[in-house]
């Protein structure tokens, strides 16, 4: 049965399969017969069998579901949107942020605040950059809008803190300079897709 | 042969109280573990090895919680009700033999606290008197959920007392005695009662589940419908006493089923009697948890329908047929 059948909302044209159910008993004798049939067919024992089977599977065949959370953690996807990371350029080690301010503008929760100035070589430099994680809704717009892939979402999701709101400074989120060789090109939210080069087409001049 | 000394009786009473309380506490741990395994979870794991000390943590919590009495409650009855539940549950156990008689330090010890010759009647009567616990608790606490719980208590316990009594009547007719020790001796010369009275066994199990307030029939404190029923306003150790009483009753029913229907503490092939009955009681206890994990609650009207229109007629028919067979 394909999904199209369920999307058809026109009453009367759907093609449902009716279930074969026993007719509802009307007379007292029919009801009595139904009770006897259901009682003696031992359907209750089927329920017992199911739970015992699950117990044996769990205990002896390693099918236990529980993750002992603080000791064991499940892997999370690369596109998970947790606490932000600031990336560096792989070659020079300089931070990627060019101070364009797009993330500050697009942030719907007004969580990002940045200050920039012109550096010595007339390049915009970040003098102040904070994200208020008390306000951040982790929508991912900042990572999506960033033209340089400088701000991305990382995988650090354990963010319980003793303070109501915790601010993060630019340096806190920036990849430490000695960890630069471990920095991978980011595959997750806001990054260019793998087949990006293939998908690029020439702009048709007919427009 | 019987040497009933006052000291011996006192020692046995204290032992019953201590051991059954401990087992009732341990039973909560076992219940949580078994239910967890049946849902493929781990259950309590962090307090002590495999969560064994969870009982201690729960006990500390129960003892240190505030003992809360609602403003409009009938204070005396509210305070007495949990004691009734716990006390009747333990008193019922005094007439139940669990192990074969044994000799320790040269002293002959019959392993029953009070060998009354109406053992079954006494145990059933005590468990029936236990209904006053939930009933008074629910009525005294000035809470509508408690009141509904109390009403259900009266309906459920009184209905199922009938089924328990009638279902046990057939085995009693065959044995010709009300003493549980005679029941055990009967099993030494005959096959297990469950093979001769399978219907009575099933009826007794169903009624036993209803009287111990276990899951398919726990209408008294059905969380989904009436918060906690008769125990809604209780907290701390008073609530804990209801709990201990319930688990002691479960153990009583398990022991009764083992002795009357499953051969009691007679030796089984190579298994000595004391081990055999522990295994039987453990299985009956496990069965209660197993059923709780498997089956949903029944509706109160279905429940009454079951008692009066199905189980009671079946029990009566069973008694009549047994009587005819004995006569012929």
The CA distance from B111 to B53, in Å, is 30
- A48 and A102 both lie in a single domain: no
- A90 and A184 both lie in a single domain: yes
Give me A166's structure tokens: 């915790």
Contact: A59, B37; criterion CB under 8 Å: yes
- A133 and A169 both lie in a single domain: yes
pLDDT for B149 beyond 80: yes
* Section B238-247 average pLDDT: 87
Which residues on B lie below 8 Å from A51 (Cβ)?
A: 38, 290, 293-294
Three-state DSSP at B300 gives helix
Chain B interface disruption, residue of A40, A52, A55, A61, most B CBs within 10 A: A55
Nearest to B213 by CA among B160, B144, B167: B160
Q: What is the ipTM score, two decimals?
A: 0.77
| Number of A–B residue contacts, CB under 8 Å | 39
Max CA separation in chain B (angstroms): 64
Question: What is the CATH classification number for the domain harbouring A179?
Answer: 3.30.70.3270
- A124 and A32 both lie in a single domain: no
- A102 and A151 both lie in a single domain: yes
Looking at A4-8, A72-76, B205-209, which range is the least confident one?
A4-8
- A53 and A149 both lie in a single domain: no
Per-residue pLDDT reduced to its tens digit, A2-20: 777 777 777 777 777 788 8
pLDDT for B102 beyond 90: no
Residue A202 belongs to a domain: no
- A149 and A112 both lie in a single domain: yes
**B39/chain A closest Cα distance in angstroms:** 7
User: What φ, ψ does residue A130 adopt, rounded to 5°?
Assistant: -130, 150
Residue environment code for B99-111, b if the CB has 16+ CB neighbours within 10 A, otherwise e: bbeeeeeeeeebb
Reported as type and span, the H/E element at residue A48 is helix A43-60
Percent of chain B with pLDDT over 70: 95
Per-residue pLDDT reduced to its tens digit, B115-130: 777 888 888 888 888 8
pLDDT band at residue B178 using 50, 70 and 90 as cut-offs: confident
Residue A72 belongs to a domain: no
Looking at A63-77, B244-258, B263-277, which range is the least confident one?
B263-277
Can you give the pLDDT at residue B1?
43
- A88 and A19 both lie in a single domain: no
Alpha carbon dihedral B305, B306, B311, B314, in 10-degree steps, equals 70
pTM for the model: 0.77
The CA distance from A162 to A68, in Å, is 23
**B319/chain A closest Cα distance in angstroms:** 20
Can you give the pLDDT at residue A102?
92
Which residues on B lie below 8 Å from A58 (Cβ)?
A: 37-38, 40-41
The CA distance from B252 to B126, in Å, is 11
Can you give the pLDDT at residue B181?
82
| SS3 annotation, A90-154 | CCCCCECCCCCCHHHHHCCCCCEEEEEEECCCCCEEEEEEEEECCCCCCCCHHHHHCCCCCEEEC
Strands A167-169 and A124-132: antiparallel
pLDDT for A78 beyond 90: no
CB atoms within 10 A of CB B288: 21
Per-residue pLDDT reduced to its tens digit, B43-89: 888 888 888 888 888 889 888 888 888 888 888 999 899 999 888 98
Residue A37 belongs to a domain: yes
pLDDT for B320 beyond 90: yes
Contact: B290, A48; criterion CB under 8 Å: yes
Residues sharing a CB contact under 8 Å with residue A159, sequence separation 6 or more, in sequence order? A82, A83, A133, A166
**Chain B: residue whose CA lies nearest to A54:** B38
Nearest to A131 by CA among A174, A82, A169: A169
Counting the structural domains of chain A, the total is 2
* Section A126-149 average pLDDT: 87
* CB-CB contact of A152 with A188 (8 Å): yes
- A102 and A169 both lie in a single domain: yes
Nearest to A151 by CA among A77, A91, A71, A95: A95
- A49 and A12 both lie in a single domain: yes
Give me B124's structure tokens: 């059933």
Instruction: For residue A64, give the nearest of B34, B42, B310 by CB distance.
Output: B42
Chain A interface disruption, residue of B32, B35, B36, B37, most A CBs within 10 A: B37
Please list the residues that pair with A174 across neighbouring strands: A86
- A128 and A160 both lie in a single domain: yes
Three-state DSSP at B203 gives helix
pLDDT band at residue B213 using 50, 70 and 90 as cut-offs: confident
**Chain B: residue whose CA lies nearest to A50:** B294
Can you give the pLDDT at residue B59?
85
Contact: A51, B42; criterion CB under 8 Å: no
Looking at A16-30, A90-104, A166-180, B226-240, which range is the least confident one?
A166-180
pLDDT for A49 beyond 80: yes
Contact: A47, B295; criterion CB under 8 Å: yes
Contact: B34, A57; criterion CB under 8 Å: no
Three-state DSSP at B194 gives helix
* Section B154-159 average pLDDT: 87
Q: Higher confidence at residue B313 or residue B265? A: B313
Please list the residues that pair with A86 across neighbouring strands: A151, A174
Q: Which residues of B touch A (CB under 8 A)?
A: 34, 37-42, 45, 290-291, 293-295, 310
Mean pLDDT of chain B: 85
Residue A207 belongs to a domain: no
Contact: B37, A57; criterion CB under 8 Å: no
* Section B210-225 average pLDDT: 81
Can you give the pLDDT at residue B106?
63
Q: What is the domain range of residue A37?
A: 8-60
Instruction: For residue A50, give the nearest of B42, B45, B294 by CB distance.
Output: B294
pLDDT for A172 beyond 50: yes
- A99 and A17 both lie in a single domain: no
**Chain A: residue whose CA lies nearest to B292:** A48
Looking at A109-123, A186-200, B127-141, B182-196, which range is the least confident one?
A186-200
Residues sharing a CB contact under 8 Å with residue B65, sequence separation 6 or more, in sequence order? B235, B236, B237
Q: Higher confidence at residue B110 or residue B4? A: B110
């Amino acid at each position: 049965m394909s999904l199209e059948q369920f999307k058809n909302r026109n009453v009367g044209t759907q093609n449902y399969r009716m279930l074969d159910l026993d007719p509802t008993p009307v007379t007292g004798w029919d009801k009595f017969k139904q009770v006897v049939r259901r009682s003696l067919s031992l359907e209750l024992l089927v329920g017992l069998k199911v739970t015992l089977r699950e117990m044996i599977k769990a205990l002896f065949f390693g099918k236990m579901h529980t993750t002992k959370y603080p000791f064991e953690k499940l892997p999370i996807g690369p596109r998970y949107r947790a606490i932000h990371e600031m990336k560096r350029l792989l070659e020079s080690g300089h931070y990627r942020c060019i101070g364009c301010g797009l993330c500050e503008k697009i942030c719907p929760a007004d969580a990002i605040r940045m200050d920039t100035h012109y550096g010595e070589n007339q390049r915009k430099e970040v003098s102040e950059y904070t994200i208020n994680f008390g306000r951040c809704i982790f929508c991912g717009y900042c990572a999506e809008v960033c033209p340089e892939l400088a701000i991305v979402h990382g995988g650090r999701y354990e963010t319980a803190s003793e303070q109501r709101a915790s601010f993060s400074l630019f340096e806190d989120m920036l990849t430490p300079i000695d960890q630069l060789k471990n920095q991978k090109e980011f595959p997750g939210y806001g990054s260019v897709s793998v087949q990006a080069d293939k998908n690029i087409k020439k702009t048709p001049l007919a427009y | 042969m019987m040497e009933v000394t006052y000291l011996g009786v006192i020692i046995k009473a204290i032992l019953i109280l201590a051991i059954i309380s401990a087992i009732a506490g341990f039973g909560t741990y076992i219940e949580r573990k078994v239910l967890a395994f049946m849902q493929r979870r781990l259950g309590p794991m962090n307090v002590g090895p495999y969560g064994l000390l969870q009982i201690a943590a729960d006990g500390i919590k129960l003892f240190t919680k505030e003992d809360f009495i609602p403003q409009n409650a009938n204070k005396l009855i509210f305070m007495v009700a949990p004691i009734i539940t716990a006390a009747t549950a333990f008193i019922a156990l005094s007439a139940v033999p669990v192990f074969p008689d044994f000799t320790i330090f040269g002293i002959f010890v019959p392993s029953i606290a009070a060998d009354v010759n109406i053992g079954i009647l006494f145990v059933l009567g005590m468990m029936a008197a236990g209904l006053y616990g939930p009933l008074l608790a629910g009525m005294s606490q000035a809470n509508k959920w408690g009141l509904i719980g109390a009403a259900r208590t009266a309906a459920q316990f009184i209905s199922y007392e009938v089924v328990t009594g009638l279902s046990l009547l057939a085995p009693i007719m065959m044995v010709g005695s009300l003493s549980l020790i005679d029941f055990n001796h009967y099993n030494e010369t005959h096959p297990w009662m469950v093979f001769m009275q399978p219907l009575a066994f099933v009826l007794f199990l169903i009624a036993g589940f209803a009287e111990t307030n276990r899951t398919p029939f726990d209408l008294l404190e059905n969380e989904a419908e009436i918060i906690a029923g008769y125990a809604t306003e209780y907290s701390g150790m008073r609530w804990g006493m209801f709990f201990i009483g319930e688990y002691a009753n479960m153990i009583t029913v398990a022991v009764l089923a083992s002795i009357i229907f499953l051969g009691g503490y007679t030796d089984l092939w190579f298994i000595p009697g004391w081990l055999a009955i522990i295994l039987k009681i453990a299985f009956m206890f496990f069965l209660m948890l197993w059923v709780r994990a498997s089956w949903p609650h029944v509706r109160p009207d279905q429940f009454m329908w079951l008692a009066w229109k199905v189980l009671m007629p079946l029990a009566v028919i069973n008694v009549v047929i047994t009587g005819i067979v004995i006569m012929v």
